[in-house]
Structure 1
């Protein structure tokens, strides 16, 4: 990077850098002389020199004919450095007291199984109070370490898994009996996690490599997703109490249950 480009990186315009550099090469100088030496159009040179004067980089003779002198680089840039440091310190002080914004809705799209699992792992790592998760066995090897650490630091972890697997959690629920039904109904493997009732990941896992998901802090979606997980757990407990045959019989007798269980 040449001298002129480095000056531009410090806030000088291209014309200002050229005019100051030309004036260092020859001073004192008249405006038209600086214009010729710097190859700045004559119609622009006095505007440029005025800006350099206001910046503290140029002095003029205040008499006719007006002659221009450069402020020497060590003085100019030392002053600029001091001003920059003052501005940075003032800005840091101001930014230290920026008031927090009210909560707002934010949603990110997630792509791929690895992307979904990575975001779930991030939420687990950041959780402070509780985690509700609905996961598939193939996800557990990627998440179990973070789940174990969450439990160790006192986070209450409820893990519902669509299959038998060893998962680190405060409470576990095996949803294997309804996993096939859920997969047939929606045509995909849905996974979810809710942390501290504030944020959620919803994932649609695909064996064909087209897994997609979302991460959001939208309160209504967090609430609905937690209801989804707790609903599955409640149904699982009820089926365990009344037996699968009784549950299936009830579903056959209720038109609404038959409709809800139809494949989408």
Structure 2
């Protein structure tokens, strides 16, 4: 006995779009959707319930059968059932990952010289945040970062995971609680210049280097923008800036009182000598120093 044809149900637009992105044609998506609602069913029953023309239903069933999305389970007449979504979609995912990895290798062979000389610009918080997490998650050797606590907090889990992998992490923090970002023995957190106070416009930057090979610096303003590069000179410049911030943090930890005595709190005398008028005004507003 054949299955009783149920009332026609239209594939939701979002589900149809997602299935098409996985390689289903519209007719294939409608046929697969119908078989998920009711199996087993003949091509005639599927066509009638799905609204797909019968010739197109036969073609869709044949294509889906070849890919393992549907399975014929009887003869005279042939009836079909839908493959379990968790198995079929997982199969598509594994095939796609394998294809992408193979394609990357083949395409890389067409570009013998890596594009390491370029500096790429990213716009918008989502793009910048996603790139930061991508870099943190791919790190193997080292993460050096200088950032404010509210900015860094968004990426805390990615940093924690890196620390658990044994990645060496150095954080120069604008804030007051180093413990919040201390994720283990491989993670060292320092307050910027021993106090963590944000003063100049450069303090709104998020600066990151990964494995001594990649860098990203982001401006945390009305619209978040970032520059990313594997250019060796640019990466070394970013690492040098972070390294000297680390030096300053260690020096302040030991000689902070003497430094303040010679140069004033927050390196006042040095800063006022080199800051722009805008930076001088910002410094005085934030510290109350003259």
Q: How does the TM-score come out when normalised to structure 2?
A: 0.50
Residue-by-residue CA offset, 1:67-95 (whole Å, 9 max, x unaligned) = xxxxxxxxxxxxxxxxxxxxxxxxx8x94
Determine the C-alpha separation between the residues in 2 that align with 1:126 and 1:235.
28
Determine the C-alpha separation between the residues in 1 that align with 2:189 and 2:274.
26
Determine the C-alpha separation between the residues in 2 that align with 1:254 and 1:189.
19
The answer on 1:175 being equivalent to 2:189 is no
The answer on 1:232 being equivalent to 2:245 is yes
Q: List alignment gaps of at least 5 residues for structure 2.
A: 1-102, 281-290
Taking a change above 3 Å as real, the CA distance of residues 100 and 174 of structure 1, as seen in their structure-2 partners, is: same
The answer on 1:194 being equivalent to 2:205 is no
Residue-by-residue CA offset, 1:209-248 (whole Å, 9 max, x unaligned) = 222211111111111111111111111221221124x323
In the TM superposition, residue 173 of structure 1 has moved relative to its aligned partner by 1.3
Residue-by-residue CA offset, 1:85-143 (whole Å, 9 max, x unaligned) = xxxxxxx8x94893762333122212234432221111101111111111211123321
Residue 242 (structure 1) aligns with? 255
Residue 251 (structure 1) aligns with? 263
Q: List alignment gaps of at least 5 residues for structure 1.
A: 1-91
In the TM superposition, residue 177 of structure 1 has moved relative to its aligned partner by 4.5
Determine the C-alpha separation between the residues in 2 that align with 1:116 and 1:185.
22
Determine the C-alpha separation between the residues in 1 that align with 2:192 and 2:113.
38
After superposition, residues 158-169 of structure 1 pair within 5 angstroms as 158-163=170-175, 164-165=177-178, 166-167=180-181, 168=183
Pick the aligned partner of 2:143 from 131, 139, 142.
Answer: 131
In the TM superposition, residue 250 of structure 1 has moved relative to its aligned partner by 2.7
Taking a change above 3 Å as real, the CA distance of residues 112 and 249 of structure 1, as seen in their structure-2 partners, is: farther
The answer on 1:211 being equivalent to 2:224 is yes
Taking a change above 3 Å as real, the CA distance of residues 96 and 192 of structure 1, as seen in their structure-2 partners, is: closer
Residue 149 (structure 1) aligns with? 161
Q: SS where residue 199 of structure 2 aligns?
A: helix
Determine the C-alpha separation between the residues in 2 that align with 1:119 and 1:97.
21
Determine the C-alpha separation between the residues in 1 that align with 2:107 and 2:199.
53
Determine the C-alpha separation between the residues in 2 that align with 1:138 and 1:254.
25
Taking a change above 3 Å as real, the CA distance of residues 237 and 144 of structure 1, as seen in their structure-2 partners, is: same
Determine the C-alpha separation between the residues in 2 that align with 1:130 and 1:243.
28
* TM-align CA RMSD: 3.0
